[in-house]
Amino acid sequence: MNYEDLMKKFGIAPIDAKLSERIRKDAGDLHFMLRRGIFFAHRDLNWLLDEYEKGNKFYVYTGIAPSGGMTIAHLLPFIMAQWLQERFGAEVLIEIPDEEKFLSGKDPRLTLDRTKELAYADALNIAALGFRPEKTKMFLTTEYAGALYKQAVRVSKHIHFSIIKDAFGWENDANIGKIFYTSMQAVPAFLKSVQQGKNVPCLIPLGVDQDVHFRVARNAIDKLGYYKPAIMHSSFLPSLKGGAKMSSSDPDNTIYLDDSPQVVTKKVNRAITGQQSSAQLQKELGGDPSKCAVCQYNRYIFEPDDSKLNDILNGERKGTLLAGEHKKDLAMKINRFLEQHARRKEKIDLESFMLRD
């Protein structure tokens, strides 16, 4: 995954040192995912902070399309959203489009009944990340369509099929539901402006692959007279086997939030590292952290402390940290996180988060 090329192709700007410093100043802190360039690019973030510094608060919008169990990789935008809520006092709106994967039709098991079930499981997993119920609302698109459809219609009038066709690479055999869907995904980016009768800035943290929806929708939102949403783009948590993106379609190399400790340990033990082929060689030559899924899991999520992370990366580099120890440490961290997360889920009153027509 060449993120430089992606930025050029999508026309998005890097989150550079200057912008990071500005975020740190406004937030009083800089999330490790920003310090480490995991959220690496943006649209209009300087404008958003201009508004914020003028006292014009933004809200945060993000979401997930239910497609199977939720994985560690799915957490990135939500962890960032929760941090933005704490640091900027932002309200958070979360769309769970239970029709999207049904309409994309790649997996025939994904009926609307099944995606609804998955959507509620996702919602609970998200809520348990520490969002404040009084400032966080979530909805399934099919359960909130009464509020969304009319606004989606307004968006859709400004998006021609030719734009969708180019953006998503579809042909005329695309079904008319998935063609329309991007309008539904656009609505929460200006819904608060509609509801409050005045323009409210919106910030969307998302995986960079989702930028396409907003490349299409931002122009339409602008034509409707609303602020175009600002966006923060995250890179992809690598696969445990070393691919660029951990994918829920490759369950063996993906950690699910409901994986048991045994399964986590087994998956991590099979993960690729950047180490040499033997402990002896590793001690002599050292390894490459950038090729090591175990290092990357620490860097992306499981080691928030920079100095501890450096110890890990240096240990890998210098050959002082051996694979067994390295993996054991990560498996323990993941299992601790999942255990705590499961416990937090038990205390969530999900209904207090949900919006319905």
66 phi and psi, to 5 degrees? -65, 130
In this complex, which beta carbon is closest to its own copies, that of residue 53 or of residue 357? 357
Q: Show contacts with its own copies in window 322-341 (CB under 8 A).
A: none
CA distance 155 to 193: 14
Of the ranges 33-41, 179-187, 232-240, 292-300, which one interacts with its own copies (CB under 8 A)?
179-187
Pull the structure tokens for residue 324: 């067994």
CA distance 328 to 340: 18
CA distance 316 to 196: 52
* Residue 161 in contact with its own copies, rule: CB under 8 A: yes
* Residue 67 in contact with its own copies, rule: CB under 8 A: no
Pair 214, 199: CB distance under 8 Å: no
> Given candidates 61, 88, 139, 144, which one binds its own copies under the rule CB under 8 A?
144
List Cβ<8 Å contacts ≥24 apart for 26-35: 26/52, 26/53, 26/87, 26/88, 27/87, 27/88, 28/87, 29/87, 31/80, 31/83, 31/87, 32/304, 32/306, 33/76, 33/79, 33/80, 33/234, 33/300, 35/306
* Residue 177 in contact with its own copies, rule: CB under 8 A: yes
Q: Specify which residues 287 forms β-bridges with.
A: none
> Given candidates 62, 156, 296, 298, which one binds its own copies under the rule CB under 8 A?
156
CA distance 144 to 254: 31
* Residue 149 in contact with its own copies, rule: CB under 8 A: yes
Report the first-to-last Cα separation within the chain, whole angstroms: 40
Pull the structure tokens for residue 166: 């180019």
User: How many chain residues interact with its own copies (CB under 8 A)?
Assistant: 40
* Residue 162 in contact with its own copies, rule: CB under 8 A: yes
* Residue 148 in contact with its own copies, rule: CB under 8 A: yes
* Residue 157 in contact with its own copies, rule: CB under 8 A: yes
* Residue 32 in contact with its own copies, rule: CB under 8 A: no
Least Cβ distance, residue 151 to its own copies (angstroms): 9
Q: Show contacts with its own copies in window 88-107 (CB under 8 A).
A: 99, 102-103, 105
* Residue 190 in contact with its own copies, rule: CB under 8 A: no
Least Cβ distance, residue 70 to its own copies (angstroms): 22
* Residue 173 in contact with its own copies, rule: CB under 8 A: yes
Q: Give the interface with its own copies as residue ranges (CB under 8 A).
A: 99, 102-103, 105, 112, 141-150, 152-162, 164-165, 172-180, 182-183, 357
